[in-house]
Structure 1
Amino acid sequence: MSKTSAQDLGSQPIGALLIKQAVPASIGILVMSLNILVDTIFVGHWIGSTAIAAINVVLPVSFFIAALGMSIGIGGSSIISRALGASDAIKALKTFGNQITLTLLLTITLVILGLWYIDAIIPAFGGKGAIFEPAKIYYRIVLYGVPILALSMMGNTVIRAEGKPKFAMYAMMIPSVSNLILDYIFINLLDFGMEGAAWATTISYGLCFIFILWFFISKHSELKINFSHFGLNFPIVKEIASLGFVTLSRQAVVSITYLLMNNILYDLGGETSVTSYAIVGRMLMFAMFPVLGVTQGFLPIAGFNYGAQNYTRVRETINTAIKYASILATLVFIVLMVFPGAITKMFTTNLEVISQTPNAMRWVFAATPIIAVQLIGAAYFQAIGKAKPALLLTLSRQGFFFIPLIFILPIYYGEMGVWMSFPISDVLSTLLTAYFLNREIVKTLKQEPVIDSIS
């Protein structure tokens, strides 16, 4: 990270700085989400609605393994941001080297296990009946590229921690654009079906990795590591693990949620309900891109200024991020409440799915305007290195509230109870986060730091 970038994070006006960090992150997430969205549309129209359900079965498995890279990336990037804020370049370099080693060791091990137990994993995640075979085809091919995806996700967070959000945006755009082009070639022109969809995804991961590798060996990155940095350092690994475990736990709960939802909905409404959930899930990834962009932009600013003990700027960053994210979330809410039917028809021509999905979509996004508090609050604790509250708040929505609700409410309301669980868990987790965040601001951020004059 250049001195100019460090000074930017610690001195530029928060509003302008947050926009500068959040816009590239939002664009990157938008393009990545559009890729998932359009990919689903292509698969639905060129292969069939069952293929959408098949991909939805595979996603939680591949995403969980890839999320190891993101977890290690976010955990390590928190350390890197704070180390750069404290002018400790040696720790930043050692952390980055340890991130690479951990990502490779863990993801390759899990890919081997995932391929070995393929016939048990797919049915467990809802790949039953007509969904099983296309899911198995897609799963096997995509899993080959997951270690590369994990390295890319890890590297992307480090690029952002260096204060280079535009390069992080490019890294997210490359696989998204290439995947769509390859989808058209492999599925529509060459008629490779599910194999074509899978290879398009896997090859796009590789192109993303090539770009990120180029960034770190070029003059654009200040993190020039050598072989000595790859050796695992226990204190650093422990800190990466404690902070990264927050992200990994969130993704683990997401994967468990997919497993439960696919099975519960299959029992309640068959393949149609699983497909409806797949469409709503794609919209969850796509529609929230501006809010997630603000959250991503918030992380390095909060982490750097906390490391520099500039608590006034940290408080201002929290308030500004929540305000921006809330406005954007409300706009998303309005669009999805008004046009759920038109959105559903983009994905499929199946009349049953078209009839069922809009109502589900309205329920799922009913509490969207308030979720900014939950997202920014949980991200804050992770950015400043407080793993326990970050873990608690990250898991609160799905782990503590949503999963119990999807078992309880369907007893009384059937399939509608599943969809009702979304806004209820959003409200409860937001209230919990607001309590902890307010307590942190009062106890910590309103205190001026005691500066030790002895270096």
Structure 2
Amino acid sequence: MAKINSAILGKEPIGKLLIQQALPASVGILVMSLNILVDTIFVGNWIGSIAIAAINVVLPVSFFIAALGMAIGIGGASIISRALGSNKDEKALKTFGNQISLTLILTIVLVVLGLTFVNSLIPAFGGKGAIFEPAKVYYTVVLYGVPFLALCMMGNNVIRAEGKPKFAMIAMIIPSVGNLVLDYILIKVFDMGMLGAAWATTTSYLLCFGYIVWFFLSKNSELKIKWSHFLFDWSILKETSSLGFVTLARQAAVSVTYLLMNNILFDLGGAASVTVYAIIGRMLMFALFPVLGVTQGFLPIAGYNYGAKNWERVRKSINTAILYASMLGVLVFAGIMFFSENIVAIFTSNPQIIEETPSAMRWVFAATPIIALQLIGSAYFQAIGKAIPALLLTLSRQGFFFIPLVLILPKYFGEIGVWISFPIADVLSTIVTAYFLNREIRLKLKPSQALNYSE
């Protein structure tokens, strides 16, 4: 079945393929983004704007631990899909067992450390002043559920590796819907405040975990592991780690960005500025879902045709993906530019937040029409197995440009220096990516070398 499905990547029209691949990815990202977005709206309206800032402080810690599960999932899923395709079932089972063991050990260690140093970590991540207490309440409860979230992120990628995208999509929908329902019950009905928001989030992770366990125990999954599969195989661990490192590095950069932003903004404008960034951060996760969906859909198409040495289809997949993603980026840009005030009003009724957020949001999204090139370019190198260029280009925006900019510009321009760092970093990273992508196309994907495959 996997071979039949993958064969179409080299035959079907690129535009049609890209839509087929991008839609499921977009739906998954949309559902997760909507969950975060609506959760923030509920918390902002039912608890208060300080609660939004408190949750934003906790995000880097929970985000990074969950990213471990995602990285292990992506790295192991690559091994599993190739093993299943070549009838190496035992290697697939051993890889899955190792993924579970590795995810459990790493996340439990991090949770223990996170709870031990709770009073130091929260202020370090921007949870100061009035934000500290609600952040501590949320942090403590959510951290208990983060290992389950990491296992869910890992398991979801394995489900996709088995060729079961519908089950993977359901696994993403369950915690999102569960969290929103529980938010209403625990915050609105039982008036539990931050504690209610925290338990709603943690319980939603448990619901997702329960579904994923059911999937692998049911007849829907081919991966029926035994206790022996949980014992570490160092060759599998090494391959899983190297393949997942790009994902982990990207998520780590996101966590570092949140840490810096929360602290810098608190020093510049107090809790209100942290709340402004929290709202903008939610919109970044939500509004860009179609662009990210196209990027995810592009990966298997480019990878398959590169492996087949069909350079013409690789070139066409790059051009088509950039075109589609850019068109979607322009639509996102227009929506933010025209409706920023309306968007902010959904999150909070705080007059200060409503006044300050729209202009900041417009700066943050100012370069949205061109970011498709940066995303597709870095994804291309990941698709063809060039880990170092993929890693460097993935980190270029936040690691090499944004973090230095946000450390320097606010010293000269104040809070506006924070917001203009976003479009400057986007432009610089896009220029760098464009250079290396164009160089790769000229040197490796010459039209004269293309094989004569039919479109």
TM bracket, shorter-chain basis? over 0.9
Q: Is it true that 1:140 corresponds to 2:140 in the alignment?
A: yes
Residues 36-45 or 221-230, more deviating: 221-230
| Structure 2 counterparts to residues 220-259 of structure 1, below 5 A | 220-259=220-259
Report deviation, 1:408.
1.4
Paired position in structure 2 for 1:431: 431
- 1:145-172 Cα distance to aligned partner (Å, 9 max, x none): 1111111111222333344333222221
Contact kept, 8 Å, 1:52 with 1:275, in 2: the verdict is yes
Change in Cα spacing, 1:78 to 1:262, as seen in structure 2 (3 Å) is: same
SS in 2 for 1:12: coil
Q: Which runs of 5+ in 1 are unaligned?
A: none
1-structure distance, mates of 2:431, 2:230 = 42
CA contact (8 A) 2:312 2:450 kept: no
More divergent stretch after superposition (352-361 vs 407-416): 407-416
Q: Is the Cα contact below 8 Å between 2:35 and 2:180 reproduced in 1?
A: yes
Deviation at 1:81, TM superposition (A): 4.7
User: 2:122 maps to which residue?
Assistant: 122
Asked if the contact 1:78/1:300 (under 8 Å) is kept, the reply is no
Q: How does 1:93-132 map to 2 (within 5 A)?
A: 93-132=93-132
**1:337 is matched with which residue?**
337
Q: Residue 254 of structure 1 contacts residue 398 of structure 1 at CA under 8 Å; is this kept in 2?
A: yes
Residue of structure 1 equivalent to 2:398: 398
Letter in structure 2 aligned against 1:191: D
* Deviations 1:294-330, CA, capped at 9 Å, x for gaps: 2222233334444555555444333322222111111
Matched with 1:364 is 364
Q: Measure, in 2, the Cα distance between the counterparts of 1:374 and 1:216.
A: 37
3-state DSSP of counterpart to 1:191: coil
One-letter amino acid of the structure 2 residue matched with residue 100 of structure 1:
I
Conserved in 2, the CA contact under 8 Å of 1:82 and 1:303?
no
Q: CA deviation at 1:447?
A: 9.0
Matches of 2:445 and 2:221 in 1, distance apart? 32
Q: What is the identity, as a one-letter code, of the residue corresponding to 2:126?
A: G
- Paired residues of 2:149 and 2:209 also in contact (CA < 8 A): yes
TM-score after normalising by structure 2: 0.93
Q: Deviations 1:370-405 (Å, cap 9, x if unpaired)?
A: 111111222222233322111101111011000110
Task: Measure, in 1, the Cα distance between the counterparts of 2:73 and 2:67.
Answer: 9
CA distance in structure 2 between the aligned counterparts of 1:338 and 1:271, rounded to whole angstroms: 26
CA contact (8 A) 2:312 2:447 kept: no
Q: Provide Cα deviations, 1:51-109, integer angstroms capped at 9, x if missing partner.
A: 00000000111010110011112223344455566676555444333322221121111
Deviation >6 Å, runs of 4+: 447-451
The 3 A distance-change label for structure 1 pair 315 and 161 is: farther
Distance, in Å, in 1 between the alignment partners of 2:195 and 2:427 is: 41
The percent identity for this pair of structures is 73
The answer on whether the counterparts of 2:54 and 2:132 sit within 8 Å (CA) in structure 1 is yes
Are the counterparts in 2 of residues 21 and 165 from structure 1 also a CA contact under 8 Å? Answer: no
What amino acid does structure 1 have at the position aligned with 2:336? L
Residues 148 and 240 (structure 1), Cα distance of their counterparts in 2 relative to 1, 3 Å cut: same
Aligned residue type for 2:440: E
Q: 1:69 to 1:276 in 2, by over 3 A?
A: same
CA separation of 1:333 and 1:22: change in aligned 2, threshold 3 A:
same
1:195-253 superposed Cα distances (whole Å, 9 cap, x missing partner): 11011111111111222233333444444444444332223322221221211111111
- Listed as ranges, the matches of 1:23-422 within 5 Å are 23-81=23-81, 91-307=91-307, 310-422=310-422
Whether the 8 Å contact between 1:81 and 1:304 is mirrored in structure 2 is no
CA, structure 1 residues 316+78, in 2 after alignment: closer, same or farther (shift >3 Å)? farther
For 1:195, the aligned partner's letter is L
Moved more, 377-386 or 365-374: 377-386
CA drift at 1:429: 0.8
Aligned residues: 451
Could you tell me how far apart the structure 1 residues matched to 2:383 and 2:78 are? 5
Quote the Cα distance in structure 2 between the aligned partners of 1:276 and 1:138: 19
Superposition RMSD in Å: 2.4
1:17 to 1:69, Cα distance in 2 relative to 1, 3 A: same
TM-score, with structure 1 as normaliser? 0.93
How far apart in 2 are the matches of 1:448 and 1:213?
A: 50
